[in-house]
Amino acid sequence: MSADDAADETADASNADADAPNAAPDDSPHILSEQSPAGDEKDAAEQSAETFHAFWADVVADAVEARDPDEPIVIKGGVSPSGVAHLGNFNEIMRGYFVAEVLRDRGREVRQVFTSDDKDPLRKVPRKLANADGEIVGLGEVDAGALGRNLGKPYTEIPDPFGEAESYAAHFAGLLKADADRLNVPVEMLSNTELYADGDFDDAVRAVLGDVERVREVLSPYQDKVDGEYVPFNPVCAECGKVTETVTGIDAAAETVDYVCTDMDAGGNTIEGCGHEGTATFREGKLPWRLEWPAQWGVLGVDFEPFGKDHAEGSWPSGVDIARNVFGEEPPVPMVYEWFTLNGEAFSSSEGNVVTVQELLELIEPEVLRYFFALHPKKARDLDVERLDQLVDRFDRFERAYFGEVDDPDLTAFAERAYPFVVGRPDDPPTERPIRLPYTFAAVLGMVDDPDFRERLARDEGHIPADADADAVDAALARVEQARNWAERTENEYDYRLQTDLPAVEFDEDVAAALDDLAEFVAAGHDGEEIQGAMYETARDHDVEVSDFFAAGYRLFFDDTQGPRLGEFLGELERDYVVDRLRREA
């Protein structure tokens, strides 16, 4: 759901904080299942059935089915196509997807739709855009003038700054559809512009402009600007193509309005109108968003729609009032979700604080991203890309719980219900747990270019069973490149390259002797933490500066003077390889 007068979109995502070993409070049970049933105007989170559900999507599905809806059941989301099609925009698609899949699992026919509010006017030029591959680019890399010259016009009338799609709106919608395809989410992308042009909104516009006094009465408690002169319709100027808000007359019989193209306020800036006086048909304009949103419910027959908490106190109550008292329709089952932040800051297309689905899929598997959205929708979270390893660890634990390998009844109950949907196999749930390399260990392997050496290290550490088939091994090692991309993107402690061949280095006798002693210590079978401590003691025993000794180790393994916590890193590697390298033998 989106608003043409809203500020930057915000949404909900998974926290990257690690769980305590024996608790998963963010995973389950979801408080959606702890609420008592309530009336139609309550959030679906408060309309749970008598039976406890470990997965929040089941609670929403109960609320939808309680209304005995016609089929196909329609689940909707929506967005205004401004800036980058980012992860926050995708929130409603995934929240709706899980509810849709639960309903399908119950034998229901479901249609999931996502509207692009593309007849809205472009109010400001975003700082960043995304190309057809989902890669974020600056305005210097595109025809930014295509945007700047067309402020105030509907998104469908603005050229694609990349010069590929038929409009900027089509470019944006294409990105969201591509993201949905990447995650195997069957969603229909609908254009508001096309719905208006095809006459789908005709009845809604007639209802509004046929009784403007009634609309003003219903809308005035929610908007201060609604006065005796307010007309809730925005024609598109025939002269300059901009959306205008000044209607001077209505001819209900002819289904036209007279208008003047006046200035538009755009967040403190002014988009100048051309002053043209003209007449527009009911299809040559649009309803203001507060009316358009509830109009969509009737136009599309919407049964369920999730939306962010910013719309819970104003937009939703007004939408309910308008649906019932202007359009004569019942509103859909709602679900308010909490926003999420990115690296501690609000998602913002216009300000450029965004991450795309495609970018994240270069760092994590699709099922991890789907899990990301399966978590509790009413908890505020922060997605910290630098700590993405913690999200992956949580997914791995969730997956192990599904296979009965975690002693946590609540998490296990959540996993038993949600996991088949998270991996996209509700009709054919997996019977064997996939091989998963710990994410940070995969980042360690990412320091190595040789794929055979990667596999040997993974087997040596016990992360790949001896009897694993080739396909399972390849699937497990695919995480290595993702973790490598993460290390490079965040420039973290794993962003180094392990030297396959022995670098051409020479050391003083005392440093060489210390390296030999450390080799003996490693050969004895000590772990990484013990090796880290031994490096300090060994340096002191040989009267070598600790910093010089660590620099020698970095030279041997990275041909550099710095790197990760060396002892702990060496503990992750194949022991014989480490011993031979410390002895300068391989």
152-203: pLDDT as tens digits: 999 999 999 999 999 999 999 999 999 999 999 999 999 999 999 999 999 9
Mean pLDDT value across residues 72-97: 90
**204 has a pLDDT exceeding 60:** yes
Pick from 127, 146, 145, 125: which is nearest to 137 by CA? 127
pLDDT at 35: 41
Separation CA 39–CA 124 (nearest Å): 40
Pick from 498, 463, 394, 564: which is nearest to 18 by CA? 394
SS3 498: coil
Beta-strand ranges (E) seen in 375-498 are 381-383
Structure-token pair, residue 420 = 């088949």
Beta-carbon neighbour count of residue 581 at 10 Å?
22
Is the separation of the CB atoms in 26 and 375 below 8 Å? yes
Is the separation of the CB atoms in 305 and 162 below 8 Å? no
Is the separation of the CB atoms in 300 and 76 below 8 Å? yes
Is the separation of the CB atoms in 442 and 478 below 8 Å? no
Please provide the distance, in angstroms rounded to a whole number, between the alpha carbons at the two ends of the chain: 60
Domain ranges of the chain: 51-199+338-424, 234-281, 439-490, 509-583
Mean pLDDT value across residues 538-554: 95
Structure-token pair, residue 69 = 């809806």
pLDDT at 24: 37
Alpha carbon of residue 238 to chain centroid: 38
Alpha carbon of residue 42 to chain centroid: 26
Where does the pLDDT of residue 9 fall: very low under 50, low under 70, confident under 90, or very high at 90 and above? very low
SS3 561: coil
pLDDT at 233: 97
Element (H, E) at 171: helix 168-182
State the average pLDDT for the chain. 89
Separation CA 376–CA 432 (nearest Å): 26
Separation CA 292–CA 207 (nearest Å): 12
SS3 391: helix
Is the separation of the CB atoms in 225 and 207 below 8 Å? no
Q: Which amino acid is at 100?
A: A
pLDDT at 44: 52
Phi, psi of 43 (to 5 degrees): -60, 145
Beta-carbon neighbour count of residue 171 at 10 Å?
24
Mean pLDDT value across residues 110-119: 97
pLDDT at 50: 55
pLDDT at 572: 84
**219 has a pLDDT exceeding 60:** yes
- Farthest-apart Cα atoms in the chain, separation: 100
Comparison of pLDDT for 67 and 3, the residue scoring more: 67
Structure-token pair, residue 110 = 């479901």
pLDDT at 483: 98
- Fold assignment, 51-199+338-424: Rossmann fold (3.40.50)
Pick from 421, 236, 225, 305: which is nearest to 1 by CA? 305
pLDDT at 185: 96
Mean pLDDT value across residues 77-93: 86
Structure-token pair, residue 561 = 């003077």
Candidate from 347-356, 486-495, 504-513 with smallest mean pLDDT: 347-356
Phi, psi of 6 (to 5 degrees): -80, 160
- Give the β-pairing of 333-337 and 304-308: parallel
- Give the β-pairing of 188-191 and 256-260: unpaired
Q: Could you give the angle at the alpha carbon of 52 between the alpha carbons of 47 and 54, nearest 5°?
A: 105
Q: What is the pLDDT of residues 437-495, one digit of tens each?
A: 999 999 999 998 889 989 998 998 899 999 999 999 999 999 999 999 999 999 998 99
Helical H segments across 228-331, by residue range: 289-300, 315-325
SS3 569: helix
Where does the pLDDT of residue 46 fall: very low under 50, low under 70, confident under 90, or very high at 90 and above? low
Q: What is the pLDDT of residues 87-111, one digit of tens each?
A: 888 888 999 999 999 999 999 999 9
**27 has a pLDDT exceeding 70:** no
Structure-token pair, residue 520 = 């003996």
CATH 3.40.190.10 for domain 509-583 = no
SS3 512: helix
Where does the pLDDT of residue 14 fall: very low under 50, low under 70, confident under 90, or very high at 90 and above? very low
Mean pLDDT value across residues 300-307: 96
Where does the pLDDT of residue 47 fall: very low under 50, low under 70, confident under 90, or very high at 90 and above? very low
Mean pLDDT value across residues 55-77: 96
Comparison of pLDDT for 37 and 395, the residue scoring more: 395
| CB neighbour class for 7 (10 Å; exposed up to 12, middle 13-18, buried from 19) | exposed
